[in-house]
Chain A
C-alpha cells in the first residue's frame, strides 16, 4: 500500500513525458480530449492513490512515517544523498492539497483553456509542475527538496510566460524566476552551511544532529536566515514579494494552482519542515514573525488599491501567506499549516471564480468595468461570495478557524497585547475591506462598461470543480489535520472572550466599511489619491529595485559590453604595431639615411667604449 506513494509524483511525470513526446511519434497534434485525458487523468490517479494511502495507512496512526528509498543519487566523500521520500502527516497533508486541489484545477483548465491552440503544451507544463511540487514535499533531504523547489520555479516561469507572444508576459515570467532565484541562492548557501556544520543534508538526520550537545547557535541562526531567504522568495514575502502581482500574467487556473494554492506556500512548508532548527534560534523565529506581520499589512493595503481583479487576489495571497509566516514565527506550526490548507481551498475557489468572470467578460480584468454581475453569472457569484467570506474570515467559514488559531497563538506568544497580534488584527480588518470591496465592485452595484456583453462561460467541467471547492472552503474548518505527531502538541489555554470578540468583529467592520465605500459611493477607478497610488504600486518596491538594482546592473553590463579586459590585449597588439611602424620607418631605402645612422651609431658606440 505504501508503495503507491512512489507512484504519486511519477504519474504526473509520465503525463508530462507523454504529452511532450507526442510530436516525435505523430505528425498531427492530438485531440483536446486525448490531451485532457492524459493531463487530468494522471493527476486524478495520483490523487486517488494519495487518498488510498491516507485512509489505509495514516488514518489510524497519526505518528506513522513512511520512508521510500528509490536510488542513490550522489555519494561523494561524506556527501550522501538519496532519491528518497519521507512521508509523515505534514507531507501527507501537502500531498492531499496538491493532488486534490491540483486535480480540480486541472479539470477546470480543460474548460478554461478550450480555445487555446497550445492546449498540449499547457497541460505538459502543468503536469511537470505537479510532479516537481510533489517531489518538493516528499523529499527526505534538502537537495532533493531543492530539486523540486527549482522545478516548480521553472514551471511557474513557463506558465506565467505561457502566452509568449506578449512581451509583457515574458518580462513577468523572467521577473518571477529571477527574483525567486535570488532567494534560492541564499537557500543554496544555507544548504552549504548546514552541510559544513552537520555533514549531512538529510532532513531526519539533521533534526537528529541538532539535538547534540555542542551546537553552534550562530551557525544555526545564519543557516535559518538563509533558508528563510529561499522561503521569502518562493512565498513572495518581504523583501522579495514583487514578482507575485506580475505573475498574474499567466492563465488564471495557473494563478490558482501555482500562485495561490501550492507553490507559493512552499516557503511555509520549508520552515515548518525545518522547525526543529528554527526552534534553536530566537533571532530567526522573530525575523520570520516580523517578515510575516509586515508583509501581511503591506500587501493588505496594496490589495485595497488595485483595480485588476487578479492583482487584488495576488496581493491577498501575499497577505495570507504573511499570516502563515506570522504563525510560524510564533511557533504555531500546525496553525500555519492549517491556514495553508484552508487558504488553498478558498483562494483556489476565488481564482477559479475570477477566471469564470474573466472568461465570461471576454478577458476583461478591470473591476471598475464590472458590476452587477450577480444576475448574469449567479453560480460564479455564489462561489466568489463564499470565497470572500472565507478570505475575510467571517465566522464559521474555514478561513475563520485557521486565522483565529493564528491570532490566538500570536496573543499567547507574548501573553498579552503585542505588536504581532495587533498587526494580525489590523490585517483582519484590511482583509475584510479589500475582499468585500472586490465582491461588491464586481457583482453588485451598477453595471460597468464590460458587464453588458457578459456571457456565462461556465461549462460543466468548470462548474463541478467550483462547487467542490466551495464546499471545501465552507467545511474546511472541520478538517484540522492531526499534526501533533510532527510538531508536538500545545496545551490549550483559555482566553478572555474579548480577544475572540475582536477577531470576529474585525472582518465585519471591514465588510461595513467596504459596503459604505463601494456600494453607496462608488468611486471611479481612474482617480486615485496619492496614498492610494502609493499602495497601488505596491509601496514603491518595484521602483526602488528598478533604480537600486536593475538599472545599475543593466548600465554596468552595457558599459562593459565589449569586455574591458580585452582592451589590455588590444592595447598590446596596437603597441606592437606602433613599434613595428617605428622600426620599419627606418628601413626606407635611402642610402644617405643608412650612412648617416651608421655614422652616428658608430660614434655613439665608440663613445660608449671610451666612457666605460
Chain B
C-alpha cells in the first residue's frame, strides 16, 4: 500500500496545490513541500530492507501491490519495489524537495498550476520507477511527459515553445516505438502460452524467437536512449534544459533522464538477454561516443546551462557504456552514476539558476570574475564543478571508476576511448569555472550588481546545496550501502545474461564474458536453471 500511497499523495498534492492558489498565494509550494515530506516518511517504511539486504533472499520484491485494472487484456495495476526502484524513488523524492527549496521564490505567475505540474511530473516518475506491469509502465511514462511539457512551455525562457515541442516530439515518437514493442512482446507471449499478460515477472520467462526479440529490444532501446539521452538522439536535451525554468531543469537532469537508464536495466537487459549480448558492442560504442561528444560540445558552449546540459550527455554515456558492458561491476557503476549525476547536475542547474536570478544572464561571455562578488556561490559551484569532472572522493568518481573498471573487462578499446572523456570533463568543468567565476569582474556585471545590491547565497539555498554536497561526499567515501541495495537487481540482470550466454555457447569472440561467468558463485547460476 505504501507505494500506492506515495503516488496518490503526489497526484493529490498536485491537485490541492492548484486549488489552493485561489485562496492563498504561497499555498502551492507549502502543499508541495508537505506532500513530498510525507512521501519521505512513507519511504522510511522500507528502512528495514536496507539494513538487512542479506536476510531477504527468497523474494525479489520488497513490497508489491496488484489490483486488476483491465482484466480482459491481462493488464494489472501492479506496483512493486526492489533495491533499484527504492534508490530511484529516493532520488526522485530527494531531488523533488531540493528543486522545490532551491526555487522557492522563483515562480511569479500561475503558481498553483506550476506546482500541480511539478508534483504530477514527480508522480509520473515515481510510477515509472515502481510499475511492474508493462502497460502501466507505459502509462506512467506518458504521465510524466505532459506536465513536464507544461513546465517548459509556460515558465521557460526565451525559446520555450520551440524547446517544449522538440522535447515532446522526441519523447513521444520514441515512446511509440516502445508501445509497439510492449504490445509485440505481450502478443508473442500470448501466442506461445495462450496467456495474455503485461506482467513483467511472467514476461521475463517469455520465449521469443531471437530475430523478433532483436527488433522488440530495439524498440525499447530507442525509447530509453532518447530519454537518456545518447547519441544521436540527444539534441532535444540542450534545448529543453536551457529553456526550462530552474526547477524544470533540476527535474529533467536529476530524475527524468534516469528513467531511460532505469528502463534499460529493468527491461532491456533481463527481457532480451540474447539480443542484448548481440547488441552490446553497438550500445557500448554509442555510450563511449556520447561521453566524448557530449564533453566536446559542453566545452564549446557559451550558454552556461547548455554547457551543463551537454555535460549530462557525457555523463549519461557512462551509464550506457556500463550497462551494456554486461558486467556486475560496470552495471553497479552505472547505477551509482545515475545517482551521482542526479545529485551533481541538479546542483549545477540550481546554481546556474541562482546566478541567472541574480545577474540576469547565463551567457558566459557576459559573466566573469563572479568570485569576488559572490564568494559563497562560487565556492559551492567549484565543489560541484569538481564533482562533475570526477574528482575521487566524490560520488561521480566512484561511479565512473567502477563503470570503467567493469567495462574494461568486456571491451578494452571502447573503455579506453570513454576514459578520454575524463580529460574532456576536466576541460568543460574548468573552462566554466574560469569564464564565470575567475578572472576580473566583467564590466557588464558591475551595473547590475551595484543596482540590485546582489546578495550571496542565503541560508535556504546554502543549506540545500550543502546537503547535496554532503551526500556526494558520503557516496564518494562510503558507497557500499548503495552497492548493497542495488546488488540484487543488478545480479538478476547479470544472471539472465550469463545463463543466456551459457545456453547459446557463443563463439569465443566474447571471451571476457565467459571468463567472467566462470567466476560467479554456483548458487547464482542454479537460480536460473529452468
Chain A residue with the shortest CB-CB distance to B313:
A563
| Cβ distance B445 to chain A, nearest Cβ, rounded Å | 14
The reply on A404 being an interface residue by CB < 8 A is no
The reply on B402 being an interface residue by CB < 8 A is yes
The reply on A189 being an interface residue by CB < 8 A is yes
Chain A residues with CB below 8 A from B300, complex form: 557-558, 560-561
Chain A residue with the shortest CB-CB distance to B295:
A557
Chain A residues with CB below 8 A from B376, complex form: 23
Known: A147-B393, A193-B408, A565-B231. Contact between A174 and B296, CB under 8 A?
Answer: no
C-alpha gap A184/B329 in the complex (Å): 21
Q: Which of B327, B328, B332, B422 gathers most chain A CB within 10 Å? A: B422
User: A196 and B408: CB pair below 8 A?
Assistant: yes
Q: Which of A72, A147, A157, A165 contacts B369 (CB 8 A)?
A: A165
The reply on A75 being an interface residue by CB < 8 A is yes
Report the stretch among B65-73, B187-195, B250-258, B423-431 that lies at the interface. B423-431
Known: A164-B439, A188-B404, A557-B300. Contact between A74 and B431, CB under 8 A?
Answer: no
C-alpha gap A71/B479 in the complex (Å): 11
Chain A residues with CB below 8 A from B296, complex form: 556-557, 560
Q: Which of B235, B426, B438, B479 contacts A563 (CB 8 A)?
A: B235
The reply on A7 being an interface residue by CB < 8 A is no
Q: Which of A74, A78, A157, A173 gathers most chain B CB within 10 Å? A: A74
User: B392 and A150: CB pair below 8 A?
Assistant: yes
Q: Which of B423, B431, B440, B477 contacts A73 (CB 8 A)?
A: B477
C-alpha gap A222/B52 in the complex (Å): 43
| Cβ distance B317 to chain A, nearest Cβ, rounded Å | 14
* CB contact list, A157-204 vs B, under 8 A: 157, 161, 164-167, 170-171, 173-174, 177-178, 181-182, 184-185, 188-189, 191-193, 195-196
User: A151 and B480: CB pair below 8 A?
Assistant: no
Known: A189-B416, A566-B235. Contact between A561 and B431, CB under 8 A?
Answer: no
User: B483 and A165: CB pair below 8 A?
Assistant: no
Known: A147-B393, A165-B440, A557-B296. Contact between A174 and B332, CB under 8 A?
Answer: no
The reply on A66 being an interface residue by CB < 8 A is no
The reply on B419 being an interface residue by CB < 8 A is yes
| Cβ distance A229 to chain B, nearest Cβ, rounded Å | 12
User: A76 and B422: CB pair below 8 A?
Assistant: no
C-alpha gap A561/B302 in the complex (Å): 9
The reply on B372 being an interface residue by CB < 8 A is yes
C-alpha gap A565/B301 in the complex (Å): 15
User: B402 and A74: CB pair below 8 A?
Assistant: yes
User: A164 and B438: CB pair below 8 A?
Assistant: yes
Interface residues on A, range: 35 or more
User: B301 and A170: CB pair below 8 A?
Assistant: no
| Cβ distance A25 to chain B, nearest Cβ, rounded Å | 12
The reply on A596 being an interface residue by CB < 8 A is no
Known: A165-B369, A185-B422, A560-B296. Contact between A192 and B404, CB under 8 A?
Answer: yes
Known: A79-B329, A560-B297. Contact between A178 and B423, CB under 8 A?
Answer: yes
The reply on A400 being an interface residue by CB < 8 A is no
Known: A147-B393, A167-B439, A192-B404. Contact between A568 and B232, CB under 8 A?
Answer: yes
User: A77 and B415: CB pair below 8 A?
Assistant: no
Q: Which of B299, B369, B408 contacts A557 (CB 8 A)?
A: B299
Chain B residues with CB below 8 A from A193, complex form: 408, 412
User: B391 and A154: CB pair below 8 A?
Assistant: yes
C-alpha gap A195/B234 in the complex (Å): 33
| Cβ distance B454 to chain A, nearest Cβ, rounded Å | 17
**Chain A contact surface mostly:** helix
C-alpha gap A151/B386 in the complex (Å): 10
Q: Which of B238, B419, B462, B483 contacts A189 (CB 8 A)?
A: B419
Q: Which of B379, B386, B398, B422 contacts A188 (CB 8 A)?
A: B422
User: B438 and A170: CB pair below 8 A?
Assistant: yes
Chain A residues with CB below 8 A from B438, complex form: 161, 164-165, 167, 170
The reply on B420 being an interface residue by CB < 8 A is yes
C-alpha gap A565/B294 in the complex (Å): 12
User: B232 and A565: CB pair below 8 A?
Assistant: yes
* CB contact list, A56-92 vs B, under 8 A: 71-79, 83
User: B419 and A185: CB pair below 8 A?
Assistant: yes
The reply on B460 being an interface residue by CB < 8 A is no
Chain A residues with CB below 8 A from B420, complex form: 185
The reply on A498 being an interface residue by CB < 8 A is no
Chain A residue with the shortest CB-CB distance to B301:
A561
User: A151 and B235: CB pair below 8 A?
Assistant: no
Chain A residues with CB below 8 A from B299, complex form: 557
**Chain B contact surface mostly:** helix
The reply on B272 being an interface residue by CB < 8 A is no
C-alpha gap A270/B301 in the complex (Å): 37
C-alpha gap A178/B402 in the complex (Å): 22
Chain A residues with CB below 8 A from B53, complex form: none
The reply on A520 being an interface residue by CB < 8 A is no
The reply on A444 being an interface residue by CB < 8 A is no
C-alpha gap A207/B460 in the complex (Å): 51
Chain A residues with CB below 8 A from B329, complex form: 76-77, 79
The reply on B519 being an interface residue by CB < 8 A is yes
* CB contact list, B460-480 vs A, under 8 A: 462, 477-480
Chain A residues with CB below 8 A from B392, complex form: 143, 146-147, 149-151
User: B405 and A75: CB pair below 8 A?
Assistant: no
User: B234 and A565: CB pair below 8 A?
Assistant: yes
The reply on B139 being an interface residue by CB < 8 A is no
Chain A residues with CB below 8 A from B379, complex form: 20
| Cβ distance B403 to chain A, nearest Cβ, rounded Å | 11
Interface string of B42-70 (1 = CB under 8 A from A): 00000000000000000000000000000
Chain B residues with CB below 8 A from A556, complex form: 296
The reply on B168 being an interface residue by CB < 8 A is no
Chain A residues with CB below 8 A from B488, complex form: none
C-alpha gap A563/B233 in the complex (Å): 12
Chain A residues with CB below 8 A from B166, complex form: 569
Chain B residues with CB below 8 A from A74, complex form: 398, 402, 479-480, 483
Q: Which of B397, B405, B477 contacts A195 (CB 8 A)?
A: B405
| Cβ distance A29 to chain B, nearest Cβ, rounded Å | 11
C-alpha gap A405/B124 in the complex (Å): 70
The reply on B434 being an interface residue by CB < 8 A is yes
Interface string of B365-398 (1 = CB under 8 A from A): 0000101100010010000001000011100011
Chain B residues with CB below 8 A from A569, complex form: 166, 235
Chain B residues with CB below 8 A from A174, complex form: 430-431, 434
User: B409 and A196: CB pair below 8 A?
Assistant: yes
Chain B residues with CB below 8 A from A77, complex form: 327-329, 332, 406
Chain B residues with CB below 8 A from A191, complex form: 405
Q: Which of A73, A150, A560 contacts B478 (CB 8 A)?
A: A73
User: A188 and B419: CB pair below 8 A?
Assistant: yes
Interface string of A561-594 (1 = CB under 8 A from B): 1010110110000000000000000000000000
Chain A residue with the shortest CB-CB distance to B392:
A147
Top-8 shortest CB links A-B: A147-B392, A192-B408, A557-B300, A164-B438, A566-B235, A77-B328, A561-B300, A181-B426
Show 17 A/B contacts (Cβ-Cβ < 8 Å), sorted by A.
A20-B379, A72-B480, A73-B478, A73-B479, A76-B329, A79-B405, A157-B430, A167-B438, A177-B430, A178-B426, A188-B401, A189-B415, A189-B419, A192-B405, A561-B301, A566-B235, A568-B232
Chain A interface residues toward B at CB < 8 A = 20, 23-24, 71-79, 83, 143, 146-147, 149-151, 154, 157, 161, 164-167, 170-171, 173-174, 177-178, 181-182, 184-185, 188-189, 191-193, 195-196, 556-558, 560-561, 563, 565-566, 568-569
Given A75-B483, A77-B332, 15 more pairs with CB closer than 8 A: A24-B462, A73-B479, A74-B479, A79-B406, A147-B393, A149-B392, A151-B392, A164-B439, A170-B434, A182-B423, A189-B416, A196-B412, A557-B296, A560-B300, A563-B235
